[in-house]
Structure 1
Amino acid sequence: MTVISGTFKVGMGERFRTDSMLTLSRGGFVTAPAGHAHFAVAQGATVVQVHALGPFALTYVNPADTPRAATNR
């Protein structure tokens, strides 16, 4: 992922932990290996670009967190 604008925080693992997050600003980038859980949060208005080799899929550690689950409630 590359930060186009704003501030983006990202961490690795299955549990959200603010103490282990890397803070990225414009031009910053990070890679996450396939099959490794990660978490992220944007601070304010933020634009990120996701780069991937296909096929590409998002898998949520907790299926209840998927945005699709929220619209089905």
Structure 2
Amino acid sequence: MPPHTHPYSEVVTIISGDIGTSHGDTFEKKGELLKPGSLWVYPAKHSHYAWTGNEEAVLQVQFVGPGGIDYINPADDPRKK
């Protein structure tokens, strides 16, 4: 998932698979992959991104809406392809 922001804070829990996540405007895989049961919080309008290992992963994302996503680089937005 390329760098993006949301108008809300989000709580993310890994249900299955391994996920890497970090923050900033530039995608850079840094740090270890997190395991199922891991949880993190990103505040509203805080740029962040995520990646998986070699297999798919399932996340639970909780937030209070309305929903929304803004990609740091508009070319990364799949809605515009």
Give the TM-score taking structure 2 as reference length: 0.77
Which ranges of structure 2 fall in alignment gaps of 5 or more residues? 1-11
Q: Where do 4+ consecutive residues of structure 1 move more than 3 Å?
A: none
Give the TM-score taking structure 1 as reference length: 0.85
Q: Pick one of 53, 65, 78 that aligns with 1:67.
A: 78
Greater relative contact order structure (CA < 8 Å, 6+ sep) = 2
Which ranges of structure 1 fall in alignment gaps of 5 or more residues? none
- How far the C-alpha of 1:22 sits from its partner, in A, is 5.2
In the alignment, what sits opposite 2:59?
A: 48
Q: Pick one of 20, 25, 29 that aligns with 2:39.
A: 29
Change in 2 beyond 3 A, CA 1:3/1:11: same
Identity within the alignment, %: 36
Q: What is the aligned-residue RMSD (CA, Å)? A: 1.3
When Rg is computed on C-alpha atoms for both structures, the one with the higher figure is 1
